[in-house]
Chains A and B, each alone.
Chain A
């Protein structure tokens, strides 16, 4: 078991490590300009930024915004999705609205968000929630529709009323799809928070309290620190990976009946 784990971990590590070596070789053997980031310098910068708390604080700030946005979007999407998946008439009247908003990129809502909510957390949560809403609702509808009708009939013959059936049969039956929706939603939420923070970075002034996106903006616009930008990018990727793996764990824990 451990050997299998180790070998799969090693296999996953081959590509990134190889790319790092090629990168370092290219920098060492070529003719680097001051704007060429180097792995060694990136590591030094990362050490510094983690050590003084800047990166962890910025990530926490961004994560908090993502969670706030994800929470309201998920709440709304679950209720609407359950209704749309259950009642065809609700589906027919809401679906065109959902589908016509869906192609509008979250970042295109930024001007509106700033005008309405300013440049702080509410605006970010608005953008993030908007992004997370669509994968969530589409998967919830699909999940509710995919529940085996025979199970609902079985519950009815056992004398259970509709509302209880929703809670005890429809929700657990739709759960696998809701999890797929959550993973996609958190992914796009995380993507759009960086974009949103980058875009409002100049106005808000940046620093760790502005989130990871604003931090990147400061590295770009004020200190022109390429290594810092790379560190931010890598930490964004790492956090996304951790979120995804965490959700998969949660999924296995919450759905032990899934092989």
Chain B
């Protein structure tokens, strides 16, 4: 961990502020205020918080899909101005292209991005490798509507990986799945992220979720947010050993962390539920 701490951050958010103007009334609301956060290279960072705390907005700003109202976001010290292939996004609703098959979806980035240098053969190889990696062999010629929710999620994940992004942004990717599938995909995600391999090989991941146990199971650090306005409540390091086995969920250390985070957001979660 020492080397990670000393290195310059992969992602740096400095006093990031986001305001929205309601089109109907012209009223301004502060969605996020003064977010400061560093994400280390190769780190798995989870952001949890009650509904409406602006966690998806943070992700969209890192993706370059939304501009901040104030402050700055930097990737390797360079200001983020728009979307880029070095930041892959996995969306909550998968956002697969319905008219493309599994392999065509995965191939989309390397095939159509402006600066792609891959030959057709290299592209095919990479796509085949990814299909194996996310266990979609046999389904490569199916259309998204023919897939189960878990398969769609894996396809969306492979599509984001196809560009070999340095940073992987995941917006509640498992929220729409049933509990068993979710647990399996969490373990798969850690495997693909490279939990068993060298730390230097791992991608930087920012993972949004409202599942506290999901966050604790996956993350190196958990950012706990509060809402109205959206802000960081606490950043909690998760010192559970890797690779994480399913049994870790039953450990006292795991339960303690979950309980601690739950206490932090409980009141707000209640308030958000009642308000919604």
Contacts and interface: CB of A to CB of B under 8 A. Distances in A.
Interface of A: 148, 150-151, 153-161, 164, 168-169, 172-173, 175, 255-257, 259
Contact of B99 (A150, A154, A255): A255
B115 to A, nearest CB: 7
A151 B100 CA distance: 12
Contacts of A153: 65, 83, 91, 95
B91 A154 contact: yes
B197 interface: no
A159 B145 contact: no
B180 to A, nearest CB: 27
Contacts, number: 71
Interface residues of B, number: 30
Nearest to A152: B95
B95 A160 contact: no
A255 B98 CA distance: 10
A159 B143 contact: no
A154 B89 contact: yes
A157 to B, nearest CB: 4
Interface of B: 63-65, 82-85, 87-89, 91, 93, 95, 97-100, 108-109, 112-116, 143-145, 159-160, 163
Given A153-B91, A160-B108, 18 more contacts: A150-B93, A150-B95, A154-B89, A154-B91, A157-B65, A157-B83, A157-B87, A157-B160, A158-B160, A158-B163, A159-B113, A164-B114, A169-B97, A172-B97, A172-B99, A256-B143, A257-B99, A259-B145
Contacts of B98: 257
A160 B200 CA distance: 28
Given A156-B83, A172-B99, A257 B112 contact: no
